Amino acid sequence: MKHLFKGLCLSAIALGTVLGLSAPASANQELTIAHSTWVGYGPLYIARDKGFFEEEGLDVDLVVMEDVKTRMPALAAGRIDVAVTTIDTVLAFYSPEHPLSYLFALDDSRGGDGIVAGKDIKTIADLKGKSIAFTEGSVSQFFLSVLLKDAGMKLSDVNALNMSAGDAGAAFVAQKVDAAVTWEPWLTRGKDTDHGHVLVDSTKTPGLITDIMVTTNDMLEKNRPAMEGLYRAWSKAIAWQKDNVEEADEIMAKGVGGWLEDPAVFAETRAGIVFYDDAMNKTFMDPTNEGGILGTIKNAKVLGEEGGLFTIDAEPASLIAADIVK
């Protein structure tokens, strides 16, 4: 009788397969994503709270790791599955032993970062010989380096002072430095002084200060469907955010927390960035598009190698997992 019952069960399963009926769902794949406290990562919490991760068969644990020097080694060691950081930062942690792949873009600074300078400094070239404060080894240094490079200059042409973005802005307001690479609210505070103005901000450099999802090549090869599902969940979250702005700010502020836990502060900060939706990612992540991520990687590679920060033998285009956004 037991054999008859077992046979009937197997027949029923086979019939269900023929008829296209779904088998019982397997457990969702677990992914751990580490990020710092930043407005651009808010849609991850929309994807979590609105069930978009679950729809893609994912069980995502969002972990705050403020220091990139903790976050990226954790990725290489397999303690997390995916990390979020800026495009330039990834290259500093790339190695032949732990190669990395760019998955998709999250947000782009569109006015949230910039340089405040004295009113006598009217162009990037005018920074030559001036004291300028910024955080060494950060995206602020990368931003400044690219602007100087485009003006035919190098970091050695300015008097660089290493300090946090907030301290840099405060130093400029107090007239202790000639210029500062900083972000809001210090851009506005610097502009509002009698002696200062915004020399340039990130509205002039789209795609340069961009946060990206990154994983190891090993993780990507073994879990490509999960990475594709992660991207689809992100895209759903962005589409939902566009249609539900106020509720989205509440969800994102609560999720990201920290200094952004107030929805009003979150919304104000969000005004300085743009989230990457599906259409934007398809263009930006195209490895043949010099105006997209490829150009930013090339800039970061050249400047990093010239500065003795790292050496990477891999071709920039090979670091882009372009098929994830297709």
**Per-residue pLDDT tens over the stretch 215-269:** 999 999 999 999 999 999 999 999 999 999 999 999 999 999 999 999 999 999 9
pTM of this structure: 0.86
CATH class of the domain defined by 29-108+209-325: alpha beta
Mean pLDDT is lowest, of 43-52, 161-170, 200-209, 306-315, for 306-315
- Looking at residue 307, its pLDDT comes to 85
- Looking at residue 185, its pLDDT comes to 87
Decide: 200 and 67 in contact? Cβ < 8 Å: no
Per CATH, 29-108+209-325 and 113-204 having the same topology is answered: yes
| CATH 3.40.190.10 applies to domain 113-204 | yes
CA 259 to chain centre: 18
Residue closest to 114 by CA, chosen among 189, 39, 41, 184 = 184
In the predicted model, what is the mean pLDDT of the chain?
Answer: 92
Where do the structural domains in the chain lie, given as residue ranges?
29-108+209-325, 113-204
- Looking at residue 184, its pLDDT comes to 86
Decide: 146 and 303 in contact? Cβ < 8 Å: yes
Q: Which residues pair with 274 in a beta bridge?
A: 108
3-state secondary structure of 56: coil
**Per-residue pLDDT tens over the stretch 24-52:** 335 799 999 999 999 999 999 999 999 99
The 3-state DSSP composition of the chain as helix, strand, coil percent (nearest 5) reads 50, 20, 30
CA 149 to chain centre: 23
